[in-house]
Amino acid sequence: MSDRPNDAPRLLSGGNPQIPKGDGDAPVQAYIAAMPGWKQDVGRRLDRLIVDVVPDVQKAVKWNTPFYGRTGDGWFMAFHCFARYVKVTFFRGAALDPVPPVASKSGDTRYFHIHEGDWGDDGGFDLDRLRGWIGQAAQLPGETL
């Protein structure tokens, strides 16, 4: 028996919310609201940080994943829930300095994983580096998906 309300989004593998595709802030906020446990706080913080760094950012949910881009330039980043972390995707991550730590099968794409407790008061990662990656990624040509 499920403990989620009937109208709550279904959680897919790893706790990733199943959210209908849609453009704009509303579907992204629905995704974040449906993120389970500690991941929801990470989603809120990521979204605020992205908007802070790129005030004119465009948002959408595609394939149960929030995407961030610039009008006419495509998507420069996304994030997605997994069982033990939130995966932050930089579509042109190989061009960032320094290069994000996790490689992809795609030559250009790089990942950064945020684990439980990483974004706490005694954070386990460099927030300024993440902010820099977001700013750099927003200046590169994005993906058209």
- Tell me: pLDDT of 145 over 90: no
Q: Do 104 and 87 contact (CB within 8 A), yes or no?
A: no
Q: How confident is the model at residue 1 (pLDDT cuts 50, 70, 90)?
A: very low
Q: Between these two residues, 143 and 23, which has the higher pLDDT value?
A: 23
**pLDDT tens readout for residues 72-112:** 889 999 999 999 999 999 999 999 999 999 988 888 999 99
Q: What is the pLDDT of residue 87?
A: 96
**pLDDT tens readout for residues 21-67:** 999 999 999 999 999 999 999 999 999 999 999 999 999 999 999 99
- Supply the pTM of this predicted model: 0.90
Q: Between these two residues, 118 and 47, which has the higher pLDDT value?
A: 47
What does the chain come to in residues? 145
Judged by DSSP in three states, 131 sits in helix
- Class of the domain covering 22-139: alpha beta
**pLDDT tens readout for residues 2-18:** 454 556 778 777 778 99
Task: Give the list of residues 6+ apart from residue 47 with CB closer than 8 angstroms, or none.
Answer: 28, 29, 32, 66
Residue 30 tokens read as 């629905």
Q: Using the structure block, give the residue that is written with the tokens 């006419």.
A: 72
Provide the residue ranges of all domains of the chain, joining segments of one domain with +: 22-139
* Nearest to 133, CA basis, from 1, 102, 118: 102
**pLDDT tens readout for residues 120-133:** 666 667 889 999 99
